[in-house]
Amino acid sequence: MENRKYKIIIIDDNQAYIDAIKFLFSKRNDIEVIGEANDGVQFLKLIETVTPDLVLMDIILPGIDGIKLAKMAGEFGHDLKFLGLTMSDNPLVHTQMYQNGFVAGILKSHFFEDFDITLRMIENNETYFPVLN
């Protein structure tokens, strides 16, 4: 899978956080950011026009939270892989992500350290929720 280029969209209400992730990914040749959104409405419009390999989804968003958005995307027939991003280290939050179909859930504060291992786990069809381990 070394030659694979992952198409990713990022959903977060903090534009500076999106920009930081995009900057990190711009230095890599295995990831392409194909879209971004700051809220659920933007996300739902976005997935009508692009098909990502992975969705990086903030859990706390204005309006519709990330867990409900993931459910809605599935109800609309979209088969997407969600990686939840959160500031919460509360195991209940991570359990909710897991129970609602997220393939991973990592702390925003550890994103830059945890992303590569998360991607490897997802490639191997495994889930990754370090707060639960």
Q: Do the domain assignments include residue 61?
A: yes
Of residues 80, 107, 105, 108, the one with CA closest to residue 95: 105
Q: Do the domain assignments include residue 127?
A: no
Q: Do the domain assignments include residue 129?
A: no
Q: What's the CATH number where 9 sits?
A: 3.40.50.2300
Q: pTM for the complete prediction?
A: 0.93
For residue 59, pLDDT beyond 90: yes
H-state helical runs in 34-110: 40-46, 66-75, 91-99
pLDDT in tens, 5-33: 999 999 999 999 999 999 999 999 999 99
Which residue's entry shows tokens 């992952």?
Answer: 6
φ, ψ (nearest 5 deg) of residue 20: -65, -45
Q: Do the domain assignments include residue 123?
A: no
Q: Do the domain assignments include residue 5?
A: yes
Q: Do the domain assignments include residue 94?
A: no
Q: Can you give the pLDDT at residue 1?
A: 43
Q: How many domains does the chain have?
A: 1
Of residues 123, 105, 100, the one with CA closest to residue 31: 123
For residue 122, pLDDT beyond 80: yes
Per the structure, the complete domain to which residue 33 belongs is given by: 1-86
Q: Do the domain assignments include residue 56?
A: yes
8 bridge partner residues = 33, 54
Q: Do the domain assignments include residue 1?
A: yes
pLDDT in tens, 60-102: 999 999 999 998 888 877 789 999 999 999 999 999 999 998 9
Cβ distance 72 to 100 under 8 Å?
no
pLDDT in tens, 33-45: 999 999 999 999 9
Q: Can you give the pLDDT at residue 75?
A: 81
CB count within 10 Å of CB 61 equals 22
Q: Band of the pLDDT at 2, cuts 50, 70, 90? A: low
Q: Which helix (H) or strand (E) holds 17?
A: helix 15-26
Which residue's entry shows tokens 């495994």?
Answer: 126
Round to whole Å and give the CA distance between 17 and 32: 17
